[in-house]
A and B are shown apart, each in its own frame.
Chain A
């Protein structure tokens, strides 16, 4: 009886799934009434931002991005609180083997380049593909490389938490400045400049740089916490 019910439900579900995924009308322009044309037009005319994706992420749907940044903050904090009691001291951690000389010397060489690349990606987020989330992740991989290459490489948890708090606070403060000077929360209240300039897009690059700092600090903190977890 139980099995029959389950099979019945799965069959109904499977039928609709199959129809949904077997009939995607590829040729048809499905989003006739959608928001996409408006975004493409306003990104260039109003926001003067070369990268439409960034304009959508930071301005049109900036509130979602604030939420996602909070999700990341919560996840990092939650992991920290769950692993709080069992943490090794600096120098002793779960990595079993020391890194080889090649990795060690290579890491030193490549570390500044990774940081530079990450910074470049989030500073140019409004011009080229990429942005705060991607740039922040690249920077965190640089720290990951250093952490697995050198056993006694340590980062101050306080500094990381100050950076992530300040970036988060400034994000919300810029939102409120939009409310005060523009009329609604997160509104682009700064001059937008000329399309394709580094200093263009008003508040968009500023917020994306803050996101970059925040993501970099949070992911580095996460990696650091996990590496120092007691096995």
Chain B
């Protein structure tokens, strides 16, 4: 073994504290060290994931106190899968932005890479922790890194976007803290497994109010409908790779926190399909808004919110097939949306407004990037033979199993809307003449950026042609999420030690 789950948190924090020191002596280190750390996290996460697939869920205790008393990290088929996806996407985003920021000053680059690294570390922390207050701390870490990354360009618009995000994020964090206080006052514990085991003892009114506060608290990171006002602005104003990191990493962590809360903490399986309602509203509002956007990144942001709505709908079904479909959607979205953001930010590199009309005819100047963007667009709107097709198909079959015909109809209508707005962009890219007066100057994409794009495109094709390469893992993860009893049993006993 190369480490235990705690290394996924401790090593990035150590590196974040080290970088200012080493940066004083060797300036290039501020770019290289985060990459090494993210690569290490990816390797560690993947090897731990393979380890737990053989040996069962691994629960790590912190500070020597066993689960209900101390903090524990749970590395299960579900959390391991998500942690692996997140660390890998973090590495891809780093690879893309390694040279992307070569023109900015040393101080700004140092901060950019520290924030990016802690954004990934915090998101991984949200996923692998087994303690609600610890999760709150990681949500804070992710939040502050995200506000700072949004404000990276220190302009008027980015300051506004970051401020909006900051206000919403802090208010929601307070709501989350209130929820945690209510739960602690009732049950006297902060451990997720212990709460899940004792949730019946909680007065039903307290349970409902705590759940409302939890939804408000986590909803901002998960981008559910009334709480996602920050997202379009933040995605538009943040640097391109950061948009990819938000959609590929942060939102996944938010969705995980939401789902863990709903499925494990407050067992809501039953007639109250609250997640379906939240998800459907988010889906419809976001996709119809995306249709009207004039700016490329804003459109992608709304599309990202819409996809998260679809994920919540699939989770909300509460069945094995539904959870499987939701996880498949999350995996695909984590790969495709960063591809769209990264290639999109190459296309609109030389403009600050990033209007869709400004990339008219760009395919003649930047054919490879345009083809990759089109690949991402086709994949996310669910056309075969790309990966998005399989996840959308699995949502439809899961809904059909449950006889939720309205959802099937809505998902199909939404898919048409998605195709309309993505094809509008593709049409402009490929079938319009390049016009100096309208379009921006093409930017020569960097070598490392292209490698990142090709890796993502390769994954899309791989999953598209061989969906069986991932479905096995997703199946195990879905089982893991639905099996609350197993989670409680695993956490409340001491896990085996893997350090020996």
* Interface, chain A (partner B; CB < 8 A): 13, 16-17, 19-20, 23, 30-36, 38-39, 42, 59-64, 66-68, 70-71, 73-75, 77-78, 80-82, 84-85, 158, 161-162, 164-166, 168-169, 172-173, 175-176, 178-179, 182-188
- Say yes or no: A81 contacts B108, CB within 8 Å: yes
Query: What's the count of A-B pairs with C-beta under 8 Å?
Result: 169
Neighbouring A residues of B465 by C-beta, 8 Å: none
Neighbouring A residues of B206 by C-beta, 8 Å: 20
* Cβ-based interface call for B341 (8 A): no
A61 to chain B, nearest CB (A): 6
A67 to chain B, nearest CB (A): 4
B396 to chain A, nearest CB (A): 30
Neighbouring B residues of A175 by C-beta, 8 Å: 10
A168 to chain B, nearest CB (A): 3
* Interface, chain B (partner A; CB < 8 A): 4, 6, 9-10, 13-14, 16-18, 20-21, 24, 60-65, 68-71, 107-108, 111, 114-115, 118, 125, 133-134, 137-138, 140-141, 144-145, 147-148, 151-152, 154, 159, 162, 182, 184-190, 198, 205-206, 208-209, 212, 497, 499
Neighbouring B residues of A32 by C-beta, 8 Å: 188
Measured CB to CB, the nearest residue on chain B to A170 is B17
Most chain A CB atoms below 10 A, which of B114, B188, B208: B188
Neighbouring A residues of B108 by C-beta, 8 Å: 81, 84
Taking A78-B147, A169-B14 as known contacts, 19 extra A-B pairs with beta carbons closer than 8 A to each other, sorted by chain A number, are A20-B205, A31-B185, A31-B188, A32-B188, A60-B69, A61-B133, A67-B125, A70-B13, A71-B137, A74-B115, A74-B118, A75-B144, A82-B148, A162-B24, A165-B20, A172-B17, A184-B61, A184-B63, A186-B62
- Say yes or no: B63 contacts A36, CB within 8 Å: no
Chief secondary structure at chain A's binding surface: helix
Contacts known (A13-B212, A30-B188, A168-B17); A187 close to B63, Cβ less than 8 A: yes
Neighbouring B residues of A81 by C-beta, 8 Å: 107-108, 111, 148, 151-152, 154
Contacts known (A63-B63, A74-B145); A19 close to B205, Cβ less than 8 A: yes
Neighbouring B residues of A165 by C-beta, 8 Å: 17-18, 20-21
A19 to B189, CA, bound (A): 22
Neighbouring B residues of A179 by C-beta, 8 Å: 4, 6, 499
A158 to chain B, nearest CB (A): 7
A165 to B154, CA, bound (A): 25
- 4 smallest CB-CB distances across A and B, nearest first, come from A34-B188, A168-B17, A31-B188, A78-B148
A90 to chain B, nearest CB (A): 17
Identify B185's interface contact among A16, A19, A30, CB under 8 A. Answer: A30
Identify A67's interface contact among B17, B114, B141, B497, CB under 8 A. Answer: B141
- Say yes or no: A74 contacts B141, CB within 8 Å: yes
Most chain A CB atoms below 10 A, which of B70, B108, B145: B70
A42 to B107, CA, bound (A): 46
Measured CB to CB, the nearest residue on chain B to A15 is B205
A208 to chain B, nearest CB (A): 14
Contacts known (A67-B138, A68-B137, A158-B24); A74 close to B6, Cβ less than 8 A: no
